[in-house]
Structure 1
Amino acid sequence: MDYYLFENQIIVWMQIGNGIMNDVTDEKGQLDYLWSHALISDETYLGIQQHCKTQTETKTCEQFQSTAQTEFGNIDPYNIYGPICPLDDDDSSSSSRRRVFKKNGYDPCEQYYVRDYLNLPQVQKALHANLTNLPNPWEPCSGLPWKDSPSSMFPIYNRLIASGLRILLFSGDVDAVVSVTSTRYSISAMNLTVIKPWHVWHDDTKEVAGYMVVYDGLAFATVRGAGHQVPQFQPRRAFALLNMFFANHF
């Protein structure tokens, strides 16, 4: 979520990229995305549909979910068509990885460079971080128990829409974690009125950059070829979408 607050000013717009909205529709959308993109089998898809209907997961449900992870394979769920970082290759140094992947403008090992840098003692000292000398290293995703999360953001969206806030939701269409299908299901469940039907939008190269639909209260756009962090994978298209939003060209 991007939001801006300046002293004595009111927030008038907000952008949310590949954001979790509602557990029920998000999970359904993720499953449908995996199946429709040929990442899991028909049998696993139907098994999860049948046995994973409640909040309490059964043993059978867990087995089907485990099978789905195996079928999915060793690909990046945040960009299903992107490269992965070869961490298991002992002969591959950070510098060699950088040379290999920077050719395509994207380095899937970036998070590990950042992790290593932020765990340097001198860096933590400069940032006044880890003053209590915790024994475990800093990780982007630590795996700590997380329970403070609402099951639905619909009440918050409804309040923001009622306040007149301009809202843009956008989804990279190759993200399997918070998929474009999930966001579309969630928006559909909000029962918003369509103001401008589904249509293509273009970047400055005049290529199709994605698709868009405008509702009474928010706009939704897909970004073609982008993963979970849209600007990381498609910076040009992300910038074009931002400019369109600022210029109110929706």
Structure 2
Amino acid sequence: MAYSPQATKKCFLLPLVFLLCSSPWQLVSARKPIDNLPGFKGPLPFALETGYVEVDEEKGVEFFYYYVESERNPEEDPLFLWLTGGPGCSSLSGLVFEIGPLGFDLQNYVNGLPSLYYKPDSWTQVSNVIFVDSPVGTGFSYSRTMEGFQTSDTESVRQLLRFLYKWLEEHPKFKSNPLYISGSSYSGMIIPVLVLEIAMAKESHGAPFNLKGYLAGNPVTDTNFDENSKIPFFHGMALISDELYESTKNSCSGNYVSPSNIHCAKYLDAVNEVTKDVNTGYILDPLCEYHSPRPGQVHSKKIGLRFYNEVPLDSTGLPKECRSSLYLLSEFWANNGTVRDALGIRKGTIVNWHRCNIHKLPYTHDVQSAVPYHRNITSKGYPALIYSGDHDVMVPFVGTQAWIRSLNFSIVDDWRPWYSGGQVAGFTRRYSNNLTFATVKGAGHTAPEYKPKECLDMLERWLSGTPL
């Protein structure tokens, strides 16, 4: 995922227009309205629908989704497409851990089916949200052929665009709603590419998308920015000493991804040794287990006395201080037969559901940098909100700030605090081309998991056009 100047000049555009104009859609309804969910007491206090959309007829690729209708004014409120990271992390994470109206009750969990509760600080308070399992092989999305599981960044974008076309054909009342593409973590590589394709489809043949902008939280964007920012982040957060930082910086000349000499490699080893037991998803949390590892990395940290992949379903005694225990509850819940029946999961399609299926996907990373896509989209006038939890090492805000600066946009509203409930909730800066950057104070990877109320306030203000 290295960035190169050529990537800026040759921003890769997907050949979709002819395909979408010339291929009629076979619209087969696979929708299920849901009033009750196993583990939730009583009827759901919001409208939930699940379903499948076929996004590749030849290979038999089916994307599974959860759709939650706005709890305010669904006819007029924006429509969000939410993409979870990974690649390979289920959109159930978005629904129950990030921006959705449900959560798992870890503190009162004993064994058996986990309990769900209603979260009032959901983004569905002000918007309709489609949580989609993408790419294929994620969550409950599947393929009827083996070749259908071979996918990539650009193929995911193609299939997500097909998904949107078909979903809106089945839900025509939402075609006029303001459309926003949003997500977190690795979806930062997908969101701007997809937004640009939607914009092109609108311009070329009037595609039925009322696109208004996009959001990306703790977004993976470009290795040279994301990875090279970790050493400065460690130092700024007092995780490494001044001396080690200076030695590493001088030996590596700012390039920490590919050590150019033996001294650089030695100091990077020293940094890794010092920080190896820090939770990279949220530096204030105990390190219990992986938190959405990056491509090619598989972390297997102990939970108590057991390893993550050895914890049986319906386990008792999960450590309540570990966020990973909360993630395990989603595995227990989604692999329950009653739950699958309630969700309308097609039998025999997914044997074992995993919250994140990262290291098992046959996935090609063929978008080298998302930076040129951000430049192209914002130059077309589409507003963007980029936000970062400021305690996240996986995608440090330092790197996010750096790639935004590389766009050379002028500053419209300079660095200042933004507030929620009368308290400083983070810091923000607004640029020309309608690009807003914000940190979320005290949040990790990803921000809404840790600061839901503050992130909802941030969203509401940005949607209204009010400065944070």
TM-score normalised by the chain length of structure 2: 0.45
Selected match of 1:53 from 220, 242, 255? 255
Contact residue 228 and residue 257 of structure 2 kept, 8 A: no
Amino acid at match of 2:443: A
Q: How many residues align?
A: 242
Contact kept in structure 1, 2:227 and 2:256, CA below 8 Å: no
Asked if 1:43 is matched to 2:260, the reply is no
Once the two structures are TM-superposed, the CA of residue 117 in structure 1 deviates from its matched residue by: 3.7
The separation in 2 between residues aligned to 1:35 and 1:130, in whole angstroms, is 49
CA contact (8 A) 2:448 2:455 kept: yes
Q: Deviations over 1:120-166 (max 9, x none)?
A: 57766852376386xx8746143246541423212111121122111
Q: Does 1:70 align with 2:273?
A: yes
Quickly say closer, same or farther: Cα 1:132–1:244, change in 2 above 3 A: closer
Equivalent AA in structure 1 for residue 328 of structure 2: Y
Q: Percent identity?
A: 20
CA contact (8 A) 1:22 1:153 kept: yes
Q: Is the 8 A contact 1:83 1:108 kept in 2?
A: no
The 3-state SS of whatever aligns with 1:143 is helix
- 1:58 deviates by 6.1
Amino acid at match of 2:234: L
1:90 aligns with 2:305: yes
The amino acid that maps onto 2:437 is: F
From 429, 448, 452, give the equivalent of 1:235. Answer: 452
Structure 1 or 2, whichever has the larger Rg, is 2
Is residue 2:18 matched to residue 1:18?
no
The corresponding residue for 1:223 is 440
Which residue number in structure 2 is paired with residue 173 of structure 1?
390
TM-score (norm 1): 0.80
Residue equivalent to 2:328: 112
Structure 1 residue runs without a partner (length 5+): none
C-alpha deviation, 1:66, in angstroms: 4.0
Q: Is the 8 A contact 1:2 1:15 kept in 2?
A: no
Please state whether the residue corresponding to 1:170 is helix, strand or coil.
strand
1:21-75 deviation line (CA, Å, top 9, x unaligned): 2222222222210122122344366336634838755684555444433211323
Q: 1:132 to 1:214 in 2, by over 3 A?
A: closer
Q: 1:142 to 1:118 in 2, by over 3 A?
A: farther
Inter-partner Cα distance in structure 2 for 1:63 and 1:176? 21
Partner of 1:210: 426
Secondary structure in structure 1 of the residue aligned to 2:427: strand
Which protein is richer in strand relative to its size? 2
Counterpart secondary structure, 2:358 = coil
1:124–1:130 contact (8 Å) kept in structure 2: no
Alignment partner of 1:127 is 2:345: yes
Kindly indicate whether the alpha-carbon contact (under 8 Å) linking 1:35 and 1:45 is maintained by their aligned counterparts in 2. no
Q: Quick check: 2:429–2:436 contact (8 Å CA) kept in 1?
A: yes
Instruction: Please identify, of 58-67 and 227-236, the stretch whose mean Cα deviation from structure 2 is larger.
Output: 58-67
Q: CA deviation at 1:228?
A: 1.2
Contact residue 227 and residue 257 of structure 2 kept, 8 A: no
Note if contact 2:413-2:430 (Cα within 8 Å) is conserved in structure 1. Answer: yes
1:81 corresponds in structure 2 to: 284
The root-mean-square deviation of aligned C-alpha atoms, in Å, is 3.4
Structure 2 residue runs of 5 or longer lacking an equivalent are: 1-80, 84-128, 130-163, 165-173, 176-207, 290-301
Distance across 2 between alignment mates of 1:44 and 1:202: 33
Between the aligned partners of 1:62 and 1:138, the Cα distance in structure 2 is 35
Structure showing greater relative contact order (alpha-carbon pairs closer than 8 Å, 6 or more residues apart): 1
What are the superposed Cα offsets for residues 200-230 of structure 1, whole Å, 9 maximum, x if unpaired?
1101x20000111100120001110011111
Counterpart in the other structure of 1:29: 229
